[in-house]
């Protein structure tokens, strides 16, 4: 029996579509960007990207929009599939460091949880 849990890629595509559909309500969502660190590539391209500054563990998504109510500098989201996704040591460190440096940062399992975090952030409800 095949695992029917959507892959992380499918979750992230759904999240980006949802964010684009909600730009009327939340114009800040135009500043939601993907960090394609996990892309599979050749060794030569991987070396070039590392030389350009690619860092292991950087979260999948960044909302480059300060939160004026709670003074966060922006929002980092490490997106995982609903079941079976694991957060690496480097990803956990990125999340913790981001929080230390004044960012909101979370691991979210699935599209719905990730969008819920984004909405709470934009409403200034994250402490």
With contact defined as beta carbons under 8 Å apart, do 22 and 29 qualify? yes
Give domain status of residue 2, yes or no. Answer: no
Give domain status of residue 30, yes or no. Answer: yes
With contact defined as beta carbons under 8 Å apart, do 78 and 59 qualify? yes
Give me the residues paired with residue 78 across strands: 107
Say yes or no to pLDDT of 20 above 70: yes
Domain that holds residue 107: 8-122
Give domain status of residue 13, yes or no. Answer: yes
Confidence of residue 3 (pLDDT cuts 50, 70, 90): low
- Model pLDDT for residues 72-126, shown as the tens digit of each residue: 999 999 999 988 889 999 999 999 999 999 999 999 999 999 999 999 999 999 9
Predicted local confidence at residue 120, as pLDDT? 96
Concatenated DSSP letters of 40-100: ---HHHHHHHHHTT--TT--SEEE---BTTTTB--EEEEEE-SSS----HHHHHHHHHHHH
C-alpha to C-alpha distance for 19 and 97, rounded to whole angstroms: 26
CATH number at residue 107: 3.40.1350.10
Total domains in the chain come to: 1
């Amino acid at each position: 029996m095949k695992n029917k849990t959507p892959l992380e890629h499918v979750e992230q595509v759904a999240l980006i579509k949802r964010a684009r559909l909600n730009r009327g309500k939340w114009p800040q969502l135009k500043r939601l960007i993907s960090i394609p660190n996990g892309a599979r590539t050749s060794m030569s391209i991987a070396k070039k990207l590392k030389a350009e500054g690619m860092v292991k563990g950087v979260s999948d998504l960044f909302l480059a929009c300060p939160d004026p109510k709670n003074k966060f500098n922006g929002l980092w989201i490490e997106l995982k599939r609903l079941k079976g996704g694991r957060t690496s040591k480097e990803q956990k460190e990125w999340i913790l460091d981001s929080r230390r440096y004044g960012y909101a940062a979370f691991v979210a399992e699935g599209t719905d949880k990730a969008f819920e975090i984004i909405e709470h952030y934009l409403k200034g409800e994250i402490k």
